Amino acid sequence: MPKNHLKAQNAPRTWPIKRKNVVFTTRPNPGAHSQDLSIPINVVLRDLLGKANTNKEAKKVLHDQEILVNGKRRKDYRYPVGIFDVLSIPLEKEHYTILVNKQNKLFIHPLSEKESEFKLSKLVNKKIIGKDKIQLLTLDGRTIIVKKNAYKTGDTLVFSIPKQEIKEVLTFEKGATVILFKGSHVGKIAEVVEIDGLTLKFKVENEEFETKKNYAFVIGKDKPIINVK
């Protein structure tokens, strides 16, 4: 099997790709995101946005046009675009992000120009690495060194684009608005009712459920800071 390709039947089930009568699809480069939460950029352009009909055409679009991911131009057709990454096509004034739906499939979601000016990153771990130095690790592979221990695991960091500076923190707490990106309730937009150890109790339309705490991604305080519907 060519190293740049992946058997379509073996691709993550979260990828919204054709599998019948198709042998191979693009294998993404190793990157910040896990394979099940990201899609190669050529597949995004071809299958999700319809900017190309073939892989060859997708490569040409990347070569000829300015295609930005989180404010940085990308030309590698195997570059993985992951959940809550911001993909922009300046020439066409179009902006998008990757979300997951209730069928556990990744999909492309349009953003306004204002919404494209920031990027959401879930804080998954942190550790002290020296005096007054804290290392933060996010779901999308970012490693950030900060001086103040003002963040907690589960919070969402809001980064500016293109400067990539932390401009806001969305706290993982009671009343927060979250999107569930894994588990049996995947794709639901919910309100946090209680965090009990590793269990999250949440509410959707006045009905309460439970799931794993790690499956929740904070997207706002009283309401989402981006339009996710």
- DSSP state at residue 50: -
pLDDT tens sequence for the chain (229 residues): 446 778 888 788 888 877 777 778 888 898 888 899 999 999 999 999 999 999 999 999 999 999 999 999 999 999 999 999 999 999 999 999 999 999 999 999 999 999 999 999 999 999 988 788 899 999 999 999 998 778 999 999 999 999 999 999 999 999 999 999 999 999 999 999 999 999 999 999 989 999 999 999 999 998 999 998 7
* Cα–Cα separations (whole angstroms), residue 174 to 63, 147, 196, 201, 226: 46, 26, 11, 9, 20
**96/99 Cα distance (integer angstroms):** 10
- The residues of the chain that CATH labels 3.10.290.10 are 5-111
pLDDT at position 23: 74
Q: Give the pairing of strands 118-130 and 156-160.
A: antiparallel
* Cα–Cα separations (whole angstroms), residue 65 to 52, 55, 59, 101, 177: 12, 15, 10, 29, 36
Residues 225/215/32/124 CA torsion (nearest 10 deg): 90
Is the domain defined by 177-220 classed in CATH 3.30.450?
no
pLDDT at position 3: 67
List of residues 6+ apart from 127 with CB closer than 8 A = 134, 135
The H or E element containing residue 212 is strand 207-212
Q: Give the pairing of strands 166-170 and 177-180.
A: unpaired
Q: Are 219 and 177 in contact (CB under 8 A)?
A: yes
Superfamily of domain 5-111: RNA-binding S4 domain (3.10.290.10)
**58/51 Cα distance (integer angstroms):** 7
What kind of fold does domain 117-169 have according to CATH?
Answer: OB fold (Dihydrolipoamide Acetyltransferase, E2P) (2.40.50)
Q: Which residue has 């998954």 as its token pair? A: 124
- The residues of the chain that CATH labels 2.40.50.740 are 117-169
- Nearest CA to 33 out of 73, 71, 88, 70 is that of 70
